[in-house]
Amino acid sequence: LSSYRYTGVSVESIPSAPHQTNAGSLQSNRGQSTKTSRQEDGNQLVAPIYLRGQSLGSIVIKRDPDEAPWTTEDVALLDDVSAQIGLALENARLLEETQQRARQDRIIADITARVRSSLDPETILQTAVRELGTALGTDRAFVRLGGARQDEQEK
């Protein structure tokens, strides 16, 4: 997953978060998720992002030192948003998994339809090996009735 920074005007991708938070400490403090801290460069809120019980990272929000301190409402908002980000990431994962399974089911259905379109055993085997090779993106595939020979498995 990537890191992003909001500059007050735009959102930009960054190679790594400028203020890394120890994921282990966030994970062990899940009950008290958002932490506030005061640093030389401003007031900071840090909220972990969880996905399936695992800490993926965190949201870091900063204010200048001369601005008002974070309120309870600010902390609650950040907690809620970080929880929603975790749910959105889980939903995206589930959608991708479902789409992958649907693609696989379509490939299986297509191969099965092509294999079943013939009654000739030779054509069935040729179609099966060709379609599997194409679907799996390989230049070598074998299909054999009976046991596979050792020399074919090693090539």
CATH of residue 64: 3.30.450.40
Overall number of domains in the chain: 2
For residue 50, how many C-alpha atoms fall within 13 Å in the half-sphere facing its CB? 17
Summarize pLDDT for 115-140 with one digit per residue, the tens.
Answer: 999 999 999 999 999 999 999 999 88
pLDDT of residue 151: 60
Encode pLDDT of 48-107 as tens digits. 998 888 888 889 898 888 888 888 898 899 999 999 999 999 999 999 999 999 999 999
Say if 102 falls within a structural domain. Answer: no
Task: Tell me, yes or no, whether 144 lies in a domain.
Answer: yes
DSSP string across 70-117: PPHHHHHHHHHHHHHHHHHHHHHHHHHHHHHHHHHHHHHHHHHHHHHT
* pLDDT for residue 115: 93
Residue 103: inside a domain: no
DSSP code for 15: S
> 29 and 80 in one domain?
yes
| Boundaries of domain holding 133 | 118-155
Task: Decide if 57 is inside a domain.
Answer: yes
Residues 67, 128: one domain? no
- Give a yes or no: residue 109 inside a domain: no
Total-model pTM: 0.62
